[in-house]
Structure 1
Amino acid sequence: MKKTVKEMFDLKGRVAIVTGGSRGIGKEMAEGLAEAGASVMLCARRSEWLDETAAEFTMRGFDAAAMTCDVSKPDDVEKLVAATVERFGRLDILINNAGISWGAMPEEMPLEKWQKVMDVNLTGCFLMAQAAGREMLKQGSGSVINITSIAGMTSSANGPFYAGYAASKAGLIGLTRELAASWGRRGIRVNAIAPGFFHSRLADPVLDIYERSIQENNVIPRIGNEGELKGTVVFLASDASSYITGQTIAVDGGMTV
C-alpha cells in the first residue's frame, strides 16, 4: 500500500541507538529521531551529560534510555546492543556519531593519539555496525547512519582539519559503501552524513579561530544552525529513503561544492 509523505517519515515503533548522543550534534539527531516517534537509546563515554540528556528526553515524553559505552571497546559495544534489545525489544536504527580528534600537524602527530582517533572514529563505528547489524539481519531490516565529516571528503586546503581525523572520516565513508554492498540484499541500508561546521565541543576550538573565514568562503555564508541535521537523519532513518544506500550526504552549506 502506497504511503503518504507523512507516513514515510514516521518512526513510530522503531528503535534507535545514538552513540555520542549526550550533547552536540548527537543529542540533536537523537532528538530528531524521538520527535519523529522513535524510541532512543543514548550512549556516551561519560555519564554526567548523558544522564542529564536522558532525563530531559523523558521529561519531554520521549521513550528514551541511556547507557555509558566506549565504542572502541568490543565488550562495551556488545553490552550496549544487548541492553537496547532487552529494553525495547528490537533495533532498527544505528547512528554512529561518537568521535574524537587530536589537533596536530602530521609531522608532530603522536602515534598513540593517531591510533586513538582511529580506534574511536573508525574501528568503533565498525564494531557498532557489526553488533547492530547482527540484530538487524535477524529482523531482515535496518538503517545504519554513519556520521562522517566533510573532512573525509576534502583536505586542509578547504578547512582546518587534522590528519588523523580526516583519515578516519574518509575511511568511514569507504566503510559505509562496503557495508551497504554487503547488507543491501539482506534488508539493511547503510548511509552517511558528512556535516560541515556546526557549533559543538569538538568544533568550537577550530571555529574560535576560523569561523569568519569559513563564513566568508562558504556558498551559504554561515555556520550550520542548531536543528539543521535533524531532517537529514530522520530522512535516512525512515522509509522516505528506502531506495537509498551507500551514499554520503554533505550538510555543509555548500563547502564541498
Structure 2
Amino acid sequence: MTSTNTRQVALVVGASRGIGRQIAVDLAKDGYAVVVAAKSTTSPADLAALSPFPPDPKSPQSTITTVAREITLAGGEATAIPVDTTDYASIQHLITKTIETYSRLDVLIYNSGAIWWAPVAKTPMKRFQLMQRVNVEGLYGTVQEALPHLKKNNRQGGGGGGRIIVVSPPIYSRFFRGKTAYAMGKVGMSVLVKGLAMDFEREAKEGGPEMVVAALWPAAAIESGATEQFTRKDPAYAKDLRKPAIFADAVLAMLKAPASVVNGLLELDEDFLRKHAGVTDFSKYAVIPGTAPRRIMPAELPDLTVKEQDDEGMRTDSSKL
C-alpha cells in the first residue's frame, strides 16, 4: 500500500487520451496523486519500445500506462488502473484499488464517453445502449462507489469534502439536434449533476461535509482523436480547434473555487475561466497560433430554475419506505 497523507488523490476516468490525459497530467503538476483510469493499457514490452515518448496524445498509442509513466517521469505521482465503465464490477474494482493504493479519494473527474452523432433513425440500438452504459450508467456507478470515500476527507484549507467534475453539457434545446441518442445520455449526466448537487446542499445543512459536483463542457471544439477525422479531410478545420489545456485549466479552477460558486454548475470551460479565474486572453489555447476558434456553444444558456423552485411539497424517500 502506498501512503499519500501529504497529497490529495484525484481519480480521472477516461484519461488515456485527449482531454482526460491533459487533466491527469495537469492535476499531477498541481500536486495531486492521480489515478489514471480507462480501458486501454500498454504492455511493459510495448512501453519500453515506444519512441518517441510520450506518444501523440491523440493516438491509440496513448494509454493509461503511458500517461501514468509520463506523469512519474516528470516527478509526479500516478497509478494506472484499467476500468470498463460498462461493467459495474470493473468500476467497483477501480474504486477498491484506488483506496487500497492511496487510502483516500478527494476528487473524481468523469471524462469517459461513447459518441455516435446521428438522427434517431440512423442510430442502431446497440449504439444507443453503449452510449447509455458508458455515459449515464458508468457515471452513476462510479459516483455511487466513490461517494463514501469522497465524503470522508476534508479538503486542504478546511471546510469541505470531495469534489466531482463531470464532462457533460449545459441543458438547452439545440444540443439535441441531429444527435438525439447521444444527447439523451450526456444530458442525463447533467441531470445527475443537478440532482446530486441538491442532495449535497441538503446534507451540508444537516451537518454533513460540504461536497461539490459540477459539469464542464467545451465552448469551442478541442483537439482530440475525434477531431482528427475532420482535420484529415480539411486541414483548415484546425483553425477552429483549441488545445486540451483550456479544459484542464478550467477543471483546476473549479477545484479551487468556493463550493458556493461551483456546486450544481453546468458550465463552459471558457466562461468559467473568464468569470472565476480572471482569464481574458484565450489566444494561447488556439491550436494554430493567431487564429480565433469559433465558439460552438450558445452565448447565453437557459436558467433551469422555475417559480416556487424550493417548494417541494411532501418529499418521498423510497429508501426509507
TM-score by length of 1: 0.83
Counterpart among 84, 108, 111 of residue 94 in structure 1: 108
* Cα distance between partner residues in 1 of 2:140 and 2:11: 14
Q: Residue 29 of structure 1: SS of its match in structure 2?
A: helix
Residue in 1 that maps onto 2:18: 24
What amino acid does structure 2 have at the position aligned with 1:155?
R
- Aligned counterpart, 1:178: 195
**Paired residue for 1:218?**
none
Does 2:151 align with 1:133?
A: no
CA distance in 2, matches of 1:209, 1:153: 30
- In 2, distance between residues paired with 1:163 and 1:30? 30
Aligned partner of 2:38 among 44, 47, 54: 44
Calculate the aligned-residue CA RMSD, in Å: 2.4
Amino acid at match of 1:194: W
Sort the Cα spacing of 1:55 and 1:75 in 2 relative to 1 into closer, same or farther, 3 A.
same
1:158-195 Cα distance to aligned partner (Å, 9 max, x none): 8xx62222221111111101111112323210001012
Q: What letter matches 1:189 in structure 2? A: V
Give the TM-score normalised by the residue count of structure 2. 0.67
Tell me what 2:80 maps to. Answer: 66
8 A contact 1:194–1:251 mirrored in 2: yes
Could you tell me which residue of structure 2 aligns to residue 120 of structure 1? 134
Instruction: Out of 223-232 and 190-199, give the one that drifted further.
Output: 223-232
CA gap of 1:249–1:105, structure 2 versus 1, over 3 A, is same
> Which structure exhibits the higher relative contact order, with contacts defined as CA atoms closer than 8 Å and separated by 6 or more residues?
1
Question: 1:193 maps to what in 2?
Answer: 216
Q: CA deviation at 1:208?
A: 5.5
Percent of counterpart pairs with the same letter?
25
What is the one-letter code of the residue matched to 1:143? R
- Shift of the 245–164 alpha-carbon distance from structure 1 to 2, 3 Å rule, reads same
Alignment CA distance shift 1:84-1:156 (3 Å)? closer
Q: 1:207 to 1:149 in 2, by over 3 A?
A: farther
Structure 2 partner of 1:248: 266
Deviation at 1:197, TM superposition (A): 1.2
Could you tell me how far apart the structure 2 residues matched to 1:170 and 1:56 are?
33
CA contact (8 A) 2:230 2:237 kept: no
Ranges in structure 2 where 5+ consecutive residues have no aligned partner: 1-5, 43-62, 155-160, 271-293, 300-321
Q: Is structure 2 residue 253 aligned with structure 1 residue 235?
A: yes
Where structure 1 has 5 or more consecutive residues not aligned to the other structure, the ranges are 1-11, 216-221
Distance 1:106 1:201, change over 3 A: same
Q: Aligned pair in 2 of structure 1 residues 194, 25: CA closer, same or farther (>3 Å)? A: same
CA contact (8 A) 1:101 1:164 kept: no
* Letter of the structure 2 residue corresponding to residue 201 of structure 1: G
Against the structure 1 CA distance between its residues 60 and 209, is the aligned structure 2 distance closer, same or farther, given a 3 Å change threshold? same
Whether the 8 Å CA contact 1:155–1:166 is kept in 2: the answer is no
The one-letter code sitting in structure 1 at the alignment partner of 2:224 is S
Pair member with larger Rg: 2
Superposed, which structure 2 residues align to 1:151-230 within 5 Å? 153-155=172-174, 162-184=179-201, 185=204, 186=208, 187-195=210-218, 196-205=220-229, 222-230=240-248
Give the helix-richer structure, 1 or 2: 1
Q: 1:206 to 1:246 in 2, by over 3 A?
A: farther
Query: Do the aligned residues in 2 keep the contact of 1:235 with 1:241 (CA within 8 Å)?
Result: no
